[in-house]
Structure 1
Amino acid sequence: MLSFWRKLNGKLQQRWIMAVMACLALTNAYTMRISLSLAITEMVASKESSSNDTSSDDTCSSIADSTSSSTSNGGTYEWDEYTQGVILSSFFWGYIVTQIPGGILADKFGGKYTLGLGILSTAIFTLLTPVVVETFDSTGLIVLRVLMGLGEGTTFPALNALIAQWSPPQERSKIGTLVITGTQVGTILGNAVSGVLIEYSSIGWPVVFYVFGGLSVLWFVVWTLLCFSGPDTHPFISDAERKYILDSMNEQTRKHTGPIPWRHMATSAPLWALLVGKFGHDWGFFTMVTDLPLYMSNVLKFSISSNGFLTALPYVAMWILSNLSSVLADWLIKRGKMSTTNVRKAFTTAGSVGPAIFLVAASYAGCDRVLVVTLFVIGMGLMGPFYPGLMVNGVDLSPNFSGTMMAMMTAVGAVDGMLAPYLIGILTPNQTIAEWRTVFWITFVVLLVANLVVLFWVDGEVQYWNDLENHSQDRKDFDHESTPSERNVSLESKAAQNHFEVK
């Protein structure tokens, strides 16, 4: 049996098996992460608006028919909007802590177990959620969500390290986007399936935590058997595929990295532009991921099953456009139609400006439910090009320290995850359209300002600090150039020369 399995795997392209399994890792991570966003609408007891001044123009009436009626809100927990905001943001309190350690571990020891054990621990905490909530109420749930965040914090750093080891440069947009769009698949399933499970299960909201936690444990078992940290350690990979991957990345990636070049990274404008762009995108993304179910339930008055399905639609569009745009991005780079830098800038701009406009427009559509959902679908769909735009840019800048780079990116995103739900809970005490309009205008500004930084400073080429040991002369030149302007010219010319040599 083992011999048959080795022969079968030897005939398959292991980089794509890794990509699919890594996509499923993110799918599981996001179903466990966001299932609470929908479940909480059923956990909390319904209440009337706390404001006597709320006009009818700011609220939507319940939909009359039984299939689309307002959510039952038969919950027993008396959690106000502020408490719900704290609960939804608490995951990211733990998530931000393990980003940098996760990146360092992934870069030093590989992504296989850094990723796998992180998902497994999150799965265990997910399975425990119903018991903890019943026993310790909101306090227990907050603590448990922090622990889930600690476990899942290693996910993106480990994945970026795996992408760096497994994706040839000419396939990086496709492989990277396939992996990272697991976030959208997880969001789609987490919302759509949660709504159906909650409505039709006899045990109610706890079912989502049992289902998604159990599936993640199953994924861990399969991942451990099938996937490895790199092609040089994979026992089933064909010699031809191993040679193809290693040869294509030989100029950019070393097997053993030196110390992380923190000083050089701290003064790298392209790295700062990447982090600012990630902050902008994730502000919009986490605003929608964590709070769109609340908007659908409390403002538009959709039922729990309709809420789950309609909340998933924007991410279906986002997933489709992410993968289509990744193919286009690789084609533009491979054919020489655009430089890697210009591809990253153009696709990031499309993934920032479009959502900014359509999310604000949705807040002015009032209670026209069809129009609101349509605008949400278009707005979130247009976030898709961001993935072959900026999400893979960390690997462009530094394949050797890609895990650490992704750790920095996701740490920035975790700040969004903490702030956005907390701020929304403060800004929307009455859950009115006017209150939510303020939320979407803030998102508009954050997205556009971050994109301006991207347009000025993002770079798509390998940076000199990716391999300081083999660029000692570059380092000496950097340290001893007489003026900042001369220093910048020197580094730009060397980066261009290095890129030409890689090509």
Structure 2
Amino acid sequence: MPSPMNKWFPHRYRVGVLGMFACALVYTLRVNINVTIVAMTNSSDRVIQHPSDWCPEYSDSGGYDGNGYQTTKVYDWSEPIQGTILGAYFYGFTATQIIGGLLTERFGAKWVCGTGIAIPALINALSPVAADGHYGYLMATRIVVGSFHGFVYSSLFSMYAKWFAAHERTVAIACMWFGSNMGGVFMSPIAGYLSRHGFAGGWPSVFYVSSIIHSVWLVFWWLCAHDSPANDRRISPDEHLYILQNTDCMIEKTSTPVPWRSILSSRTVYASIIVRACGMFGYYTIFTSVPSYFDAIFNVKYVENGTYMAIMYVAIGCALLAAGPLSTLLLTKTSISRTRVRKIFQLISQIGPGICLALVPSMDCNLIAVVVLIVVSMLLYGFRTGGEYPIIPEYAPEFTGVVFGLTNTLGAAMGFLAPIIVGQVLNMDSNVVTREKWNIVFYIMAGLYLLGAVLFELLATADRQDWSYVKQVVGSNIELNELSGNSRSTIKFQTRYRIFSRYKSNQIPENTETPDWIVFKKNTLVY
């Protein structure tokens, strides 16, 4: 008998919540060192140098407040070395995007995602020991953490394509990215506090705590997560049938070859690749380089700088969470095509930030206006959960993990390419950083956002691609309980008929049936 809990909190919702927290854990390890490295290298005799065209009216803001960290471990790492350490994560993260999708197709999303969370938690805890040895060892740990994190998003995208109906999948994906940014919001202030008041000498406790919190999630993941409804023995027949009728991934495939030639020649895939890269350049530049801009130009304190970053994370997190349901509402309440809805939301997420960032240089020394424009740009960029993210499971449902890994490779590479490009701009002509050079950086970000908007409008579509169909052979005598993995009881034809009739008459209109479902229904004698 189905558990009463399944009625108000179905199994697919549990998968969605676990996926959201998985993304939050990814960001806790991604951003923990961004704050901690300040404590690791902080010195009371640090001298702040500002460019000639900085904003001196903010000279009384106090700047850095000396060495307030309770630690005896301080490393003499130059700014380039610190930048290399911070970027090391993205070398690994970029390299494993496609691999993560392939491993998911081979071993299943549950194991790939779980491994992608568990191994980084262990390696992250070794960071203080690695830093004591040499900064190169610390870089190695960051590369390994990023490498395994590259598995997480590809595997979750593949899992969601099997667990969620199209209208629910958009919300689930939005929750993924909301969780990611909330992980940054949570970890940044915690890391700052532990760096000053934590155990084990201060900043080492940041790495220990951020690793320990993974253990709770791992227990629930191994107990409650499954690759698909077909692997979940506790799912109710009602929920399983509902998922089967409303998803394109009807049955598990075992060894279907990936149509690489078709994928690599698809204009729709290239639309996803380009728009992801253009948008993520601005995203990573804002969260990795703009704090230095606030420091150099406006003499913003460390604490205030962190506050501004937290506000930006909250802004984009809220937009990421809201845009998915809004796009679904637009699809269900209007006659606008799915492709047009995806383009509307993606254009908002590209053109909006492009305009905001292009206006930053004209604000001169108005810090409040600059902060507001950057926060609004991130808020608008969050609308991508109604555009580029849900469009991949729509045009490639059977190969979501692989396609997402491919499209996210260049986007993830912006994590280390963006700081390099920004550094080259700031160092051109001379090694003196000026506000004029920072203006060029903002114009570059704005231009790339607008370029992504144009190309997505021209190339993208939400229509399922021909190469994404997988031929399946379903026996005429298959029982529904075989699909759910429940061998303890047999669901006879009359039970299947009642289940289908209830959904047919009360919940699922005739015109929502997909061709795949009609074939499946016929072959399994469910009428």
Structure 2 length-normalised TM: 0.81
Rounded Cα–Cα distance in structure 1 between residues aligned with 2:315 and 2:27 = 17
Change (3 A) 1:232 1:71: farther
Aligned to 1:172: 169
1:190 & 1:112 partners in 2: Cα distance? 25
Deviates more, 1:275-284 or 1:419-428: 419-428
Contact 1:34 1:289 in 2 (8 A): no
Cα drift, residue 59 of structure 1: 6.3
The 2-side partners of 1:104 and 1:442 are apart by: 34
What is the alpha-carbon distance in structure 2 between the residues aligned to residue 132 and residue 425 of structure 1? 27
Query: Does structure 1 retain, via aligned residues, the 8 Å contact 2:177–2:317?
Result: no
Q: Relative to 1, partners in 2 of residues 1:242 and 1:334: Cα closer, same or farther, differing over 3 Å?
A: same
State whether structure 2 residue 381 is matched by structure 1 residue 387: no
* Counterpart position of 1:39: 36
Q: How many residues align?
A: 467
TM-score, with structure 1 as normaliser: 0.85
* Residue type of the alignment partner of 2:287: V
Match of 1:195 in 2: 192
Cα drift, residue 273 of structure 1: 0.6
Unaligned runs of 5+ in 2: 473-511, 518-527
Whole-Å Cα distance in 1 between the matches of residues 115 and 182 of structure 2?
A: 21
Q: Which ranges in structure 1 are unaligned for 5 or more consecutive residues?
A: 471-497
2:457 to 455, 458, 474: 455
Contact in 2 for aligned 1:191/1:308 (Cα 8 Å): yes
Residues 1:294 and 1:43: Cα distance change in structure 2 (over 3 Å): farther
**Cα distance, 1:104 vs structure 2:** 1.1
- Which range moved further: 295-304 or 320-329? 295-304
Deviations 1:64-119 (A, max 9, x none): 46xxx535367833333332322222111111222222101112322111011111
Q: 1:399 to 1:122 in 2, by over 3 A?
A: same
Secondary structure at the counterpart of residue 126 of structure 2: helix
Who wins on radius of gyration, i.e. which is larger?
A: 2
Corresponding residue to 1:344 among 320, 342, 345: 342
Q: 1:245 to 1:59 in 2, by over 3 A?
A: farther
User: Which of 205, 213, 235 pairs up with 1:215?
Assistant: 213
Q: What's the CA shift string for 1:163-183, capped at 9, x where partnerless?
A: 111110122211121123222
The 2-side partners of 1:229 and 1:370 are apart by 47
Task: Name the residue aligned to 1:482.
Answer: none
1:128 Cα deviation after fit: 1.4
Mapping of residues 461-472 of structure 1, within 5 Å = 461-467=463-469, 469=471
CA RMSD of aligned residues (A): 2.8
Paired residue for 1:489? none
Find the aligned partners of 2:203 and 2:435 in 1 and give their Cα distance: 27
Mapped pair 1:280 → 2:282:
no
**Cα separation, 2, equivalents of 1:235 and 1:300:** 58
Asked if the contact 2:161/2:249 (under 8 Å) is kept, the reply is no
Letter in 1 for 2:406: M
User: What residue in structure 2 maps to residue 85 of structure 1?
Assistant: 83
Cα distance, 1:399–1:206 mapped onto 2, change above 3 Å = same
Give the residue type in structure 2 aligned to 1:313: I
2:152 to 150, 155, 175: 155
Deviations 1:376-426 (A, max 9, x none): 211111111112210122111111001101111221212211201222344
> What is the distance in 2 between the residues matched to 1:206 and 1:375?
35
Displacement after TM superposition at 1:456 (Å): 0.1
Pairs within 5 Å for 1:251-266: 251-256=248-253, 258-266=256-264
Letter of the 1:404 partner, please give it. V
Structure 1 residue 460 displacement after superposition = 0.7
Paired residue for 1:140? 137
**Alignment check: 8 A CA contact 2:54 2:298 kept:** no
Does structure 2 conserve the Cα–Cα contact (< 8 Å) formed by 1:60 and 1:301? no
